[in-house]
Structure 1
Amino acid sequence: MKRKNLVNGIILAFSVVLIRFIDVRIYDMNLIVTLLILVALIYSAMRVVDRFPSLDEPVSKRASFVVNTFVIIAIFLAFFVFKL
């Protein structure tokens, strides 16, 4: 697995948490608007990640597993702490 794939997964996960937090706590958005903002945020962040050539290097399975585990735990904690 490449670092770029790992970073893209992190972007996907935390974009959903961020948009959900904004939707619940800051401003109640329409579903269509929420989805459009989410798609735009994910697309723009992934385009930025594509510009870094150092992210094309491979990652070990253990490092990938650890990062993915921390991301999943962070998502669950964010949803439970912020009551999203």
Structure 2
Amino acid sequence: MKRKNLVNGMILAFSVIFIRFIDVRVYDMPLILTLALLMVLIYGGIRLVERFPALDEPVSKRTSLITNTLVIVTIFLAFFVLGL
């Protein structure tokens, strides 16, 4: 697995948390606006990651597993602790 794939997964997870936090705590957005902002944020993040050639290097299975586990734990904690 490449580093780029791990970073894209992190972008996806943290974009969902960020937009959901804004939707719940700051401003109650209509669903279509929430989805549009989420798509723009994810697309922009992925396009930004494409510009870094250093992220094309492979990572070990252990690093991949640890990173994915931390991202999943962060999602659960964010949704339960912040009440999203």
Give the TM-score normalised by the residue count of structure 1: 0.99
Distance 1:59 1:11 in 2: 18
Moved over 3 A (4+): none
Q: Deviations over 1:28-47 (max 9, x none)?
A: 00000000000000000100
Question: Once the 2 structures are TM-superposed, how far is the Cα of residue 73 of structure 1 from its aligned partner?
Answer: 0.4
* Letter in structure 1 aligned against 2:80: F
Q: Secondary structure at the match of 2:20?
A: helix
The yes-or-no answer on 1:40 pairing with 2:40 is yes
Distance 2:81 2:27 in 1: 18
Question: Once the 2 structures are TM-superposed, how far is the Cα of residue 12 of structure 1 from its aligned partner?
Answer: 0.3
Distance 2:36 2:75 in 1: 21
- Aligned counterparts, 1:21-60, within 5 A: 21-60=21-60
Distance 1:34 1:13 in 2: 15
Aligned residue pairs total: 84
Identity %: 70
The yes-or-no answer on 1:77 pairing with 2:80 is no
Distance 1:82 1:37 in 2: 20
Unaligned runs of 5+ residues in structure 2 are: none
Unaligned runs of 5+ residues in structure 1 are: none
